[in-house]
Structure 1
Amino acid sequence: MFSLPANPEVNEILDGVPVVRMQDDANELAALISTFYDPVALELRNSDRHRTRLRALLSLSTKYQADRTRAHAVKFLESEWPKTLEDWFLHQSQMSERVRYSKLVRHYDFDYPAEHFFPEPAADLRLAIDFQVPSILPTLYYRLAISDTQIDFDQDFESQGSLSANWKLLQARDWMRVTRGKGHLLKAAELITDIVIQLPSPRCQEREACKKAVYAQAGAIHIWDASADFARQPDIIGKVFGILDSLESYASGSSFCCSCEYSFQESLRRFLNDTWEELADTFDLASEGEVA
């Protein structure tokens, strides 16, 4: 574009040099060009809550085929969101620890939800869709599905236990996927009860005690499964992590024998991995070619 021959009769000339009028924002264009000369200019931070700089770099690097800059921006965006079940567990644990720290120490950020120190999902969803970054879409849709649609990300609220999002950024297709995905997650929750009622295991050592434990565990699952809060925010992965944690710490009072407890844990672990691996199908991404 810059090497096109100048025609004084057609092109504007300034100080003997042809002027190329570009439609891009001057600051955004300067940010892109600076990355060609200064590696520090490629640094991105998650403190950019609205992703202004990241969107500018993705947009212009795509438009002008600045592949190195685009690859760096895509890599940063992908690094902000978990792509494995293990990474998701660590991500959620960090958020919980932020809440715990604020409560214990009453740091200056005590009045702010912990999620404000982590990436905001709706803005990143728009980036992932607009600039073809499909690897993080399943995680982003799950994060939106377990968030409270009654709370906007920029709204002040007291509940540290509720996740929110910048809901106004979602488009009709996004809402459809989130809504249908919630339905699939609620349906999947029924499978947890099915796992429980398959106990006692064939190798059960204390059948009567384990039968009582089955009733207790099934009843506890039914309570949260039927709650309005779970219907709004069906975090089935978080719930199963909680059950496994209680079994591991003996906090559930389940009274399962060793054989039944091991069988129950293994079934829950398989459920967790299957649920995570099927997120693309849960949110109907594969059928529309959003993910491979």
Structure 2
Amino acid sequence: MSTAFYPIGTPGMPWGEQEKAQWLASITVKRSYHKEVVEKIHALADKFDVIQYGALSYDETRFPLLALKSKNWDEHKPKVLVTGGVHGYETSGVQGAIKFAQTRACEYEHDFNLLIAPCISPWGYEVINRWNPNAVDPNRSFVENSPAEESAGLMSLVALYGKDFLIHIDLHETTDSDEGEFRPALAARDGKEYEPDIVPDGFYLVGDSENPQEGFQKAMIDSVRKVTHIAPPDSNGNIIGAPVEQEGVINYPVKKLGLCAGVTDSEYCTTTEVYPDSPKVTDDECNDAQVAAVTAGLDYVLAQLKQ
């Protein structure tokens, strides 16, 4: 059992409003959502319809919620949702979604309707944090009466098009800061003991334990291994505490946990997890791994549809 102490709060006691305010006061802006995300999205207006589906109340002008939608939307085509930046600090989730839109999405618009939401948590992107300003994790908040407006915003967007998406790929990262900052902060916030874990060294996927879709997951792993290495299991055969079901794949009950991957009723859904802190990869390779996962997933489903 760890005796590590997070510098905010009292061990064993959940945070109250004072501790949350102290945590928020410690957060600083580190990069620009407008420059790194908004400008790139608007630059794609010739290829997609740019949709503003809301704005964060923390600063509505600074944090518009933006998505890209196929111009040739056709209700007879299967629908695909690609999301990134549910955890704003996970950079390649955001930039990978944008890169897919920039470079590969056009190849799939004949067969699919595409809806791409590159950065669900703009405040988290700017401050490089997992939570929103209320110390709430948006990726546990895709539930009725969501406590996170970031999650509620995406849920409202999805509702406009119906939950019957065929595919949903949610782009994430697992970083060294998960163990260095975010999991200790979570334990402190909830008044629990911090139990250290191992950060997986490589790319992996989180499928839906209620509908795992082994072939879909394998196709993505096989594609990504050409770009970056796949995370091995730990000594217990687990990745982040969950048993490895096949190489580089674990499963969670995505709807039960309120994860973004459960926001639709898609037959094929997964969460990607890139490892950007490896000395073996560059930022571009992390973005490319996200694109490789998306395209491989779409290629796999397209092949199934044509059988």
Normalising by the residue count of structure 2, what TM-score does the alignment of the two structures yield?
A: 0.29
More strand by share: 2
Larger Rg: 1
More helix by share: 1
RCO higher in structure (CA 8 A, sep ≥6): 2
